[in-house]
Amino acid sequence: MPQSATYSRIVTFSKLVLPLAALVVLSLMFLFSGRPDPNQALPLATQSADGQLGQQGMTKPHFAMVTGSGRTLELIASSAEPVALDANQIFATDVMARITRLMGARDQITADQALWNSQTTDTQLTGNIVATTPEGYRLDTEELSINAASGDIVAPQAVLITSDEIRLEAGQMAITGPSDHQVVHFQGGVRLLYDGK
């Protein structure tokens, strides 16, 4: 019986002392951990797995928007990152753009690079641009601007448009107007070859 009473006292003592000891240890940890410096920057990873230093970005981003003319514009890229001097702009590489018309037909554009403005939703494509349409037309140029508000598309540099029947070269091209009444303008040494066969 005395041995049982001793065991009960030990258990009761442990139930009281052990939680108190845990609280004391935690208090000491916070007491001696040092005060945080609010001016000190948080430690961030300085190198990513692929060796890029301090670079923010996304892999395989997908942006979508509706233009002022009602067409849907999608942008898909291999990578994208914000522009250092303008937080509203996003720079993307290996870009594919898809423009879906009101009736469902889809034009596709590929480019080496794109600069997308999240505030104005304008897109500037550059480098090895190839645009194709369901009607069989192909456009090659080095710079293309898409205005999401109006749906206008402008190529300020030389363009080459080809299909089974035509070959058209021009110094500049602009597509303007609503989607059901678009007008295509060519300027700067326009040359058209037609093969009706």
- Each residue of 71-102: pLDDT tens digit? 787 888 898 888 888 878 888 899 988 888 77
> Are 79 and 96 in contact, with CB atoms under 8 Å apart?
no
- DSSP 8-state secondary structure symbol assigned to residue 17: H
Residues 124 and 167 in one domain: yes
Distances (CA, A) of 168 to 61, 127, 142, 149, 185: 34, 20, 16, 28, 12
Percentage of the chain exceeding pLDDT 70: 67
CA atoms within 13 A on the CB side of 131: 22
Give per-residue pLDDT as tens, 118-131. Answer: 788 788 999 999 99
User: Which long-range contacts does 110-113 make (Cβ < 8 Å, 24+ apart)?
Assistant: 111/144
- Split at pLDDT 50, 70, 90, the class of 25 is low
Residues 117 and 182 in one domain: yes
* Per-residue model confidence (pLDDT) at position 127: 93
Residues 170 and 134 in one domain: yes
Provide the domain limits for residue 8: 1-33
> Are 62 and 75 in contact, with CB atoms under 8 Å apart?
yes
pTM value surpassing 0.85: no
Give domain status of residue 45, yes or no.
no
> Are 193 and 172 in contact, with CB atoms under 8 Å apart?
no
